[in-house]
Amino acid sequence: DDEYTDIEDDVDDEADEERVLYDLSTKADVPRAIPLPKRLHVPVMDFNSGDEVGTFHLSEKTFGCDPVRVDILQRVVVWQRNKKRGKRNAGARTKTISEVSGSGRKVRNQKGGGIARAGHSRPAHWRGGAKAHGPKGNIQDYTTKLNKKVRRMGMRHALSQKLLEGNLVITNDMASNTHKTKVLDEMLNRFDVSGKYGVTALMVDDAHAKEGSEDEAFVHGGVNVNLKVASGNLHKIKVQNQIACNVYDMLKYKKLFLSLEAVRALEARLEK
């Protein structure tokens, strides 16, 4: 009886496991994106506190591409990666007969030796000789051409994709009062960017300071200096200005943080 009870319990466990694994009716519904144009009305978050401080209406031409062209994104990513490879010298290069070390003197008599005739000591079939038809080490050019209109279209579709996914965060600014990494990590936790190697995020700013003002020392290259230093030890974060913002980085990182200044600059640049 005890053995029968144990077997029956095992059968019940297997049935429960199958019900959990294969019962598709218990799965949660996939959340759907907010339709246009309502999707373009986004909240503006305070960067330091994580609270909502207002709303902003995004440009439909830049953030409202529907449907998102995956083929355009693929073309831009391939162009970027080829451009990064650029031009380089090939790794392999062999010496020709004129470059191999050795004399041009005839090594032996033409006749009378009972052996094949030979001239110099550098032929390809001799030990220490040249390499026949070897690689020359020419410069390899990996760059490809892509029209500027297609590149701008790729930026617009990448921004629209981030908004469609719900991974776009608009902040009032990206000013940080300290360069401490711990403080920045705590601030990002409010936006669900937690853990050292957790959710990744791309932060784009377009900060400017008036010449001679106190803020001039804290802004360099369109980015807050404290924010740049604090993010140095966070592998999940990348900080850049809006000029350096590109399709590859937007697709690589899950969340995209844009300051209001960066949004205005991107809309002005991409709607030309």
pLDDT in tens, 246-257: 999 999 999 999
Q: What is the mean pLDDT of residues 48-60?
A: 91
Q: Encode burial over 43-82: b for 16+ CB neighbours within 10 A, e otherwise.
A: ebbebbeeeeeeeeebbeebbbbeebbeebbebbbebbee
If phi > 0 it is left, if psi is from -120 to 50 it is alpha, else beta; for residue 159 that is alpha
Q: What domains are there in the chain, each with its CATH number?
A: 28-86+145-270 (3.40.1370.10), 88-141 (no CATH)
If phi > 0 it is left, if psi is from -120 to 50 it is alpha, else beta; for residue 28 that is beta
Asked if 261 and 206 touch (Cβ cutoff 8 Å), the reply is: yes
- Is the pTM for the entire model greater than 0.75? no
The confidence band for 9, taking pLDDT boundaries of 50, 70 and 90, is low
Could you tell me the two tokens for 170? 């608009």
Q: Is the pLDDT of residue 30 over 80?
A: no
pLDDT at 20: 46
The confidence band for 234, taking pLDDT boundaries of 50, 70 and 90, is confident
Q: How far apart are the first and last CA of the chain?
A: 82
Question: What are the tens digits of pLDDT across the range 108-162?
Answer: 999 999 999 999 999 999 999 999 998 888 888 889 999 999 999 999 999 999 9
